[in-house]
């Protein structure tokens, strides 16, 4: 696995401690990890993770594998989406990493997306779309945690 600098990195600060944020991220069923998405995994490193739901009126089922799981600190997994239009091959996967850092009574959550293979950098329009989508995911996590 070739690790590169993130294609995209976004963050948010959530008014809750890391343990509470982590619980929302790793809840069974409709996890707050991907707002409104069904997440199926046992959260063990090396085990599969699948995401299913509806995106812009289209059903989807994405998948990957858990790469790191440090409760309350870091979660990462590979990710491939059929919506990408690319073949389901390792070089077409990317790595999604969430890092949680306590900040007083809040938690800073940083989400990074990295390419798995030696793909060229994405163009500005694609990067902007990734940023928009990941910010929406973090906003969903923030709302889910803060409404409790």
CATH number at residue 42: 3.30.530.20
* Structural domain contains residue 2: no
Judging by DSSP bridges, how do beta strands 106-115 and 8-14 pair with one another?
antiparallel
- When divided into structural domains, the chain yields a total of 1
Position 2 confidence tier, pLDDT thresholds 50, 70, 90: very low
How far apart CA 109 and CA 140 sit, in angstroms, is 12
Closest CA to 109 of 8, 9, 4: 9
Tell me, yes or no, whether 48 lies in a domain.
yes
In a domain, 3, yes or no: no
User: For 19-42, what is the mean pLDDT?
Assistant: 82
Task: Please indicate, yes or no, if residue 110 is contained in any of the structural domains.
Answer: yes
CB 122 within 8 A of CB 130: yes
pLDDT in tens, 101-141: 999 899 999 999 988 777 766 788 888 988 998 898 899 89
The 8-class DSSP code of residue 32 comes to S
Which residues constitute the domain of residue 24?
A: 8-146
Structural domain includes residue 81: yes
């Amino acid at each position: 696995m070739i690790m590169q600098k993130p294609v995209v990195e976004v963050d948010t600060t959530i008014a809750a401690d890391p343990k509470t944020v982590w619980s929302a991220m790793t809840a069974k069923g409709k996890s707050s990890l991907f707002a409104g998405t069904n997440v199926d995994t046992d959260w063990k490193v090396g085990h599969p993770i699948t995401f299913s739901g509806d995106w812009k009126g289209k059903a989807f089922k994405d998948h990957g594998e858990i790469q790191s799981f440090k409760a309350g600190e870091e979660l990462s997994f590979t990710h491939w989406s059929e919506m990408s239009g690319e073949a389901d091959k390792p070089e077409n996967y990317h790595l999604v990493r969430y890092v949680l850092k306590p900040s007083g009574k809040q938690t800073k959550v940083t989400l990074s997306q990295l390419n798995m293979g030696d793909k060229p950098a994405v163009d500005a329009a694609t990067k902007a779309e990734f940023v928009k989508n990941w910010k929406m995911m973090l906003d969903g996590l923030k709302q889910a945690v803060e409404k409790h």
